[in-house]
Amino acid sequence: MSERLIQKLNILADAAKYDVSCSSSGSDRKNTNKGLGNGHQSGICHTYTEDGRCVSLLKILLTNHCIFDCAYCVSRRSNDIERAAFTVDEVVELTMNFYRRNYIEGLFLSSGIFKSADFTMERLLRAVKKLRLEENYNGYIHLKTIPGASDELITEAGLYVDRMSINLEMPTEAGLKLLAPEKSHQDVIKPLGFVKNQIVQFKEEKKLIKSVPKFVPAGQSTQMVVGATPETDKDIMYTAASFYKSFSLKRVYYSGYIPISNDSRMPILGTQPPLLRENRLYQTDWLMRFYGFDVKELLNDNNPHLDTDIDPKLSWALRNMHLFPIDINTADYQLILRIPGIGIGSAQKIIQARKFGKLYVHQLKKIGIAYNRAKHFITCADTPFQLKDFQSHQIKGFILAESQSKYLKTPHEQLLLF
């Protein structure tokens, strides 16, 4: 019995691992009924795998049987792999016992589609309801919305879970059609829009009637596979930006494609996953969400790809040297945020600290800005007067010369012959 359970867990955790979302933040569900668990506003990562990704949730598939045949997915029906399925009780037992030992922050439940969308969704819902209603479990639950499931099932699930997500998979419709002809972006857009409207509606009602239950309090997220099809960074980020805008998503995840088959439409087996590219995309995502950048400033027809050797914020600054240097002691918060080497925490400290007097270099260093990077873009109380006006490529040279990229060991770029 326990042997088989271990085996199943191995198969179904292995199949679920390509879903990168593991966040457990955004829900402040309280442990009101003296049951087990509660939400933690900023989330807790209980451990990290050897690839450096956080493990916060017990991320499993209910089953890896699937009626679809998407080329980028390990669980596609034509793939010859071991199949397994958890019973609802097994999912509940694993979640409760892992949670009690503080191994996990909650459950991430997804599934291959078996029989029909509604049939699958109904089974997922049953596991979630059992946890919430019978086991008094108040920890985090992230549930996959199954495309094509009925509105009633989705609405009911939303009442018990903290976050729902549904994956775009490919950044463009053309890419998706190439690898998964049975699917389309419309399948994703419809439920995303439906859940978003429900969230808005429940919030409105809660303003009037306090007893209205929470509906997907931690919001929705989605994921795109990067590097399986030949989209540019611009395509990817424009799609992401439009989804953030139209569906008020909490997160868009970018998952570097890891070759899993010898399909001629995709990178061959053994190709390195595009980790650097993925990193740059996340940096761009952060700049859009927290630093007030518009995606068009970072990526446009002149720069359809992000630089690999420097981060997108620095590369934006080097393209816009006419805006610099910025005076730390007078500039707006929004402008200070745009200086390479200064993050949100430091920017806020600077704004507070300069009320008490002009800031000097030694103070800025202590506050924690990356001074060697920022010094090319700022002036403060004791900045030495400079006669020479450096060009952006020179500044880039200075910064690259003194920084050590963690990716240098595995160069990704091919040198140009001509």
Partner 1 sequence: MIYIFDGTLEGLLTAVFEWFERKPGVATLKSKGTHQPDAFMPSFEVQSDREKADRVWRGLAQKLDRAWMRRAYCAYLSELPQIHHDLFQFIIYIFQNPHGAAQNYGHPQVLSITQTARKVEREKHRMEAFIRFQKTADGIFYCGIDPDFNVIPLLVNHFKNRYADQQWIIYDLKRHYGLFYDLQTVEEIEMGTDISLLKKTSQNLLDEKENLYADLWKNYFKSTNIVARKNTKLHTQHVPKRYWKYLTEKL
Q: For binding to partner 1 (CB under 8 A), which residues are involved? A: 2, 5-6, 9-11, 13-14, 16-18, 30-31, 34-38, 40, 44-55, 58-59, 94, 97-98, 100-103, 136, 256, 258, 272-273, 275, 349-350, 352-357, 359-360, 363, 366-367, 406
Of 91 and 157, CB closest to partner 1: 91
CB nearer partner 1, residue 303 or residue 348: 348
Minimum CB separation of residue 72 from partner 1 in Å reads 14
User: Shortest gap between Cβ of 16 and partner 1 (angstroms)?
Assistant: 8
CB of 81 to partner 1, least distance (A): 13
If the CB atoms of residues 4 and 305 are measured against partner 1, the closer one turns out to be 4
For residue 4, the minimal CB distance to partner 1 (Å) is 12
DSSP string, 294-359: -HHHHS-SS--S--SSS-HHHHHHHHTGGG--EETTTS-HHHHTTSTT--HHHHHHHHHHGGGS--
In a 13 Å sphere around the CA of 34, the CA atoms on its Cβ side amount to: 0
Q: In the complex with partner 1, which residue's Cβ is closer, 136 or 155? A: 136
With left for phi above 0 and alpha for psi between -120 and 50, is residue 299 left, alpha or beta? beta
Minimal distance in Å, beta carbon 212 to partner 1? 23
Smallest gap from Cβ 165 to partner 1, in A, equals 17
DSSP 149-204: --HHHHHHHHTT-SEEE---BSSSHHHHHHH-TT--HHHHHHHHHHHHHHHHHHHH
Cis preceding linkage at 325, omega within 30: yes
- Per the DSSP assignment, residues forming a β-bridge with 57 are 106
- In the bound state with partner 1, the residue whose beta carbon lies nearer, of 39 and 312, is 39
175-181 long-range contacts (CB < 8 A, ≥24 apart) are: 175/228, 175/229, 175/231, 178/229, 178/265, 179/70, 179/71, 179/72, 179/228, 179/229, 179/265, 179/266, 180/68, 180/69, 180/70, 180/71, 180/72
Min dist CB 90 to partner 1, Å, is 11
63 or 315: CB nearest partner 1: 63
C-beta separation of 104 from 58 below 8 A: yes
Task: State which residue, 148 or 259, has the beta carbon closest to partner 1.
Answer: 259
Please, what is the minimum distance in Å from the beta carbon of residue 399 to partner 1?
22
- DSSP for 85-109, please give it: B--HHHHHHHHHHHHHTTS-SEEEE
- Considering the complex, what minimum distance in angstroms separates the CB of residue 340 from partner 1? 20
Cβ closest to partner 1, residue 31 vs residue 261: 31
Distance separating alpha carbons of residues 79 and 163, to the nearest angstrom? 30
CA distance linking residue 81 with residue 381, whole number of Å: 65
Q: State which residue, 176 or 364, has the beta carbon closest to partner 1.
A: 364
β-bridge mates for residue 253, sequence order = 223
